[in-house]
């Protein structure tokens, strides 16, 4: 069984032997810069390979190059905390430990170097101190190796341990969105731009299209190398050098990343959950801070939600306004550093890129994002669905969750089967939220019945407009309410509560009979409702309700211009017009007027009604039967 690729990173104080240790393990000198060789000091990231599976990232230990250290540590799977036996634990030992914890690194081993410079008693004292310092960290109870890069003592034991090392099982990278944070950019004569980095998720292949983030530049991977050898494909936790087309060296830099096109967004506003280390100073609202995320470094101002300041050891939801746009993924971890003095003071986790600004007093939003922070993968997907205003499609979900469609689908299927979410059209909705909308529909119909007691139901368009519900959702929920026998569908696309019936008073029954008789007597000449109001000496809104009742009983129809005609008369008009058009193919308004034996004033509303119901078709001056 092939073991998974592995990125091992060093950490520790300056001059504790990190570079010498990797040289002993691999035979590769990771100090590549001229200045590094002159000063005998690691300044930037260095890279080496133990074999085709395991790569090393060597980081600088000097406090002036902490940000380079973070850039390297951000992509490692396993940490080697290197501590010199003659110095023991030093300031950057502690700071590097904080940084690795902030970045979510959770596996590692301690290597005590330079044992040739101390005696056994001193070495045991150093071991004891190291164990005390690393207590309650991910190094606690982990292996401690003692080595000398000068004599080679202990190197083989460490090499064998690392060669057989298998990190805890991770997600299948082939199902993930591709991301490679850039740590080096250079030009190769005859090939063009080359970038190097660690594949932190997904896979990349030759000829694959990738996007440079931040920004919208689409590039193609011409060729790639792994561990300095040509390859067709690089997978999660492998170092890769990509020769990319359509981009110049000055268009991409450390801090950018290459990723699956159109699956990440860029913004200078991030919503996060942040915390301070127990020994940090108070951080004030809107303080300027450094943010190290991925291989990039940024400056910004931090705004706490619901707090004026953040005390040591505390955490909260905050938004950070950065001095430039960044791209990142959901749950990406970062390091917070103060500007002056430049020290590591805390860390955080990204919950959202871009979006609306949250005011300090909006503590409900803080609670909402804290719930997202504490959610597992499945619950966070549900959170995104529940908190989308008008549903969310699969593409939007991939962007918000930084997960691919393949990763999302099992969770979505499971939640659908559990009736926590539902798919309508091409969007997903929370069942809990839809239940609230269903309650709103029922409340609205019930209120409509109270205020319009003579109407059999409420029109579909009115429901849609008044409640501002998307058509697909409204149709889905109305169908669901009908299946539950809570709502019934009437003619004319109207809806009523299942047990609702119109009940007329004795007086209303008398007026209805008189109204209907008058409308019937008018025959093919519709009556103006305002004229009926004068005859019956009743407010027009009350008369309208009674006429609508007749319409619901299929005894009358309201035409344009507030004209009302009996169903019987309208059906006769429709039959006569249909017969005439069947024989003559087309007709002017004047011909129909003479056919019906009425005036133009009444003929046009009748024809317009027949057009609206799809019986006739108007083209210019003529009417045709609609085929």
Give residue-wise pLDDT tens across range 364-396.
999 999 999 999 999 999 999 999 988 999 999
pLDDT at position 172 is: 58
pLDDT at position 306 is: 94
For 259-263, 294-298, 491-495, 561-565, which range has the lowest pLDDT when averaged over its residues?
Answer: 491-495
The pLDDT mean for the chain works out to 92
Cα dihedral 530, 531, 532, 535 sign: positive
| Distance separating alpha carbons of residues 64 and 211, to the nearest angstrom | 32
DSSP characters for 167-229? PPP---GGGSPPEEEEEEEEEETTTEEEEEEE--BSEEETT-EEEEETTTEEEEEEEEEETTE
CA nearest 393: which of 412, 377, 376, 418? 412
Query: What's the whole-model pTM score?
Result: 0.83
DSSP 8-state symbol, 524: T
| Distance separating alpha carbons of residues 227 and 230, to the nearest angstrom | 8
Q: Assess contact for 244 and 258: CB atoms under 8 A.
A: yes
pLDDT at position 380 is: 97
Q: Does residue 546 sit in helix, strand or coil?
A: helix
| pLDDT tens readout for residues 204-217 | 999 999 999 999 99
Tokens 């149709």, residue located: 475
Question: Which long-range contacts link 482-486 to residues 24+ away (Cβ below 8 Å)?
Answer: 486/442
Tokens of 578: 């249909």
Tokens 């007749």, residue located: 550
pLDDT at position 545 is: 78
Is the bond preceding 178 in cis, omega lying within 30 degrees of 0? no
Identify the band that residue 538 occupies on the pLDDT scale cut at 50, 70 and 90: low
| Distance separating alpha carbons of residues 381 and 395, to the nearest angstrom | 13
**In the chain, what percentage of residues exceed pLDDT 90?**
76
Identify the band that residue 349 occupies on the pLDDT scale cut at 50, 70 and 90: very high
**In the chain, what percentage of residues exceed pLDDT 70?**
97
For the residues 460-489, what does the mean pLDDT come to?
92
Q: Assess contact for 422 and 428: CB atoms under 8 A.
A: yes
For the residues 255-269, what does the mean pLDDT come to?
96
Identify the band that residue 498 occupies on the pLDDT scale cut at 50, 70 and 90: very high
| Distance separating alpha carbons of residues 365 and 360, to the nearest angstrom | 10
More confident residue, 398 or 454: 398
| Distance separating alpha carbons of residues 466 and 483, to the nearest angstrom | 23
Tokens of 597: 């034996």
Torsion angle (degrees, nearest 10) of CA 244, 245, 251, 254? 0
pLDDT at position 228 is: 83
DSSP 8-state symbol, 391: B
pLDDT > 50? residue 226: yes
More confident residue, 539 or 106: 106
pLDDT at position 539 is: 60
Distances (CA, A) of 491 to 425, 444, 460, 545, 554: 26, 19, 11, 17, 9
> Which ranges constitute the DSSP H helices of 468-505?
471-483
DSSP 8-state symbol, 474: H
pLDDT > 80? residue 169: no
| Distance separating alpha carbons of residues 256 and 294, to the nearest angstrom | 9
| Distance separating alpha carbons of residues 54 and 39, to the nearest angstrom | 29
Q: Does residue 14 sit in helix, strand or coil?
A: coil
Q: Does residue 385 sit in helix, strand or coil?
A: helix
pLDDT at position 161 is: 96
Q: Assess contact for 87 and 13: CB atoms under 8 A.
A: yes
What distance lies between CA 219 and its chain's CA centroid?
24
Tokens of 457: 């139901």
| pLDDT tens readout for residues 75-124 | 999 999 999 999 999 999 999 999 999 999 999 999 999 999 999 999 99
pLDDT at position 2 is: 58
Tokens 């393990």, residue located: 25
| Distance separating alpha carbons of residues 324 and 305, to the nearest angstrom | 22
pLDDT at position 1 is: 42
Rg of the chain over CA atoms, in angstroms?
37
pLDDT at position 102 is: 94
CA nearest 237: which of 460, 56, 429? 56
For 95-99, 157-161, 492-496, which range has the lowest pLDDT when averaged over its residues?
Answer: 492-496
pLDDT > 90? residue 427: yes
Q: Does residue 397 sit in helix, strand or coil?
A: helix
Tokens 């590039």, residue located: 219
Identify the band that residue 348 occupies on the pLDDT scale cut at 50, 70 and 90: very high
DSSP 8-state symbol, 254: B
């Amino acid at each position: 069984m092939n073991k998974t690729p592995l990125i091992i990173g060093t950490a520790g104080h300056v001059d504790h032997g990190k570079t010498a240790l990797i040289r002993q393990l691999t035979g590769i000198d990771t100090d590549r810069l001229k200045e590094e060789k002159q000063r005998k000091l690691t300044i930037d990231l260095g890279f080496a390979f133990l074999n085709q599976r395991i790569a090393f990232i060597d980081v600088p230990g000097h406090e002036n190059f902490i940000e380079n250290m973070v850039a390297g540590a951000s992509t490692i799977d396993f940490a080697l905390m290197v501590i010199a036996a003659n110095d023991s634990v030093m300031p950057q030992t502690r700071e590097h430990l904080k940084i690795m914890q902030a970045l979510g690194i959770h596996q590692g081993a301690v290597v005590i170097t330079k044992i040739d410079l101390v005696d056994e008693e001193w070495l045991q004292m150093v071991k004891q101190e190291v164990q005390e310092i690393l207590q309650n960290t991910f190094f606690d109870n982990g292996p401690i190796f003692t080595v000398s890069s000068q004599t080679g003592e202990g190197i083989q034991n460490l090499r064998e341990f690392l060669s057989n090392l298998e990190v805890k099982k991770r997600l299948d990278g082939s199902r993930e969105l591709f991301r490679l944070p850039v740590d080096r950019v250079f030009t190769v004569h005859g090939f063009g731009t080359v970038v190097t980095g660690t594949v932190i998720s997904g896979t990349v292949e030759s000829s694959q299209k990738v996007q440079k983030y931040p920004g919208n530049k689409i590039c193609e991977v011409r060729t790639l190398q792994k561990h300095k050898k040509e390859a067709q494909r690089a997978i999660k936790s492998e170092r890769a050098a990509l020769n990319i087309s359509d981009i110049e060296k000055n268009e991409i830099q450390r801090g950018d990343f290459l990723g699956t096109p159109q699956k990440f967004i860029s913004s200078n506003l991030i919503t996060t959950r942040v915390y301070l280390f127990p020994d940090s100073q108070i951080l004030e609202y809107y303080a300027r801070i450094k943010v190290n995320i991925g291989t990039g470094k940024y400056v910004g101002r931090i705004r706490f939600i619901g707090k004026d300041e953040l005390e040591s050891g505390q955490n909260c939801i905050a938004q950070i306004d950065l001095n430039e746009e960044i791209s990142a993924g959901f749950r990406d971890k970062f390091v917070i550093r103060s500007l002056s003095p430049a020290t590591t003071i805390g860390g955080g986790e990204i919950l959202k890129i871009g979006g609306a600004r949250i005011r300090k007093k909006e503590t409900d939003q803080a609670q909402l994002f804290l719930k997202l922070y504490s959610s597992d993968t499945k619950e966070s997907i549900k959170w995104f669905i529940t908190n989308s205003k008008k549903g969310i499609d699969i593409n939007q979900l991939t962007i918000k969750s930084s997960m691919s469609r393949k990763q999302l689908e099992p969770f979505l299927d499971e939640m659908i089967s559990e009736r926590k979410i539902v798919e309508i059209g091409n969007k997903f909705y929370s069942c809990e939220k839809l239940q609230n909308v269903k309650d709103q529909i029922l409340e609205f119909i019930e209120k409509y019945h109270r205020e319009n007691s003579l109407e059999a139901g409420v029109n579909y368009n009115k429901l849609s407009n008044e409640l501002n519900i998307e058509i697909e959702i409204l149709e889905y929920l109305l169908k669901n309410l009908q299946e539950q026998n809570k709502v019934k569908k009437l003619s004319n696309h109207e809806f009523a509560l299942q047990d609702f019936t119109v009940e007329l008073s004795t007086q209303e029954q008398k007026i209805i009979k008189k109204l209907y008789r008058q409308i019937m007597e008018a025959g093919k000449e519709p009556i103006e409702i305002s004229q009926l109001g004068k005859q019956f000496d009743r407010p027009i809104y009350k008369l309208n309700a009674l006429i609508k009742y007749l319409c619901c009983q299929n005894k009358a129809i309201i035409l344009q211009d507030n004209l009302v005609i009996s169903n019987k008369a309208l059906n006769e008009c429709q039959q006569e017009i249909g017969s005439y058009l069947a024989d003559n193919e087309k007709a002017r308004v004047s011909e129909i007027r003479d056919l019906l034996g009425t005036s133009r004033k009444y003929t046009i509303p009748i024809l317009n009604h027949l057009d609206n119901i799809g019986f006739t078709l108007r083209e210019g001056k003529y009417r045709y039967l609609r085929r």
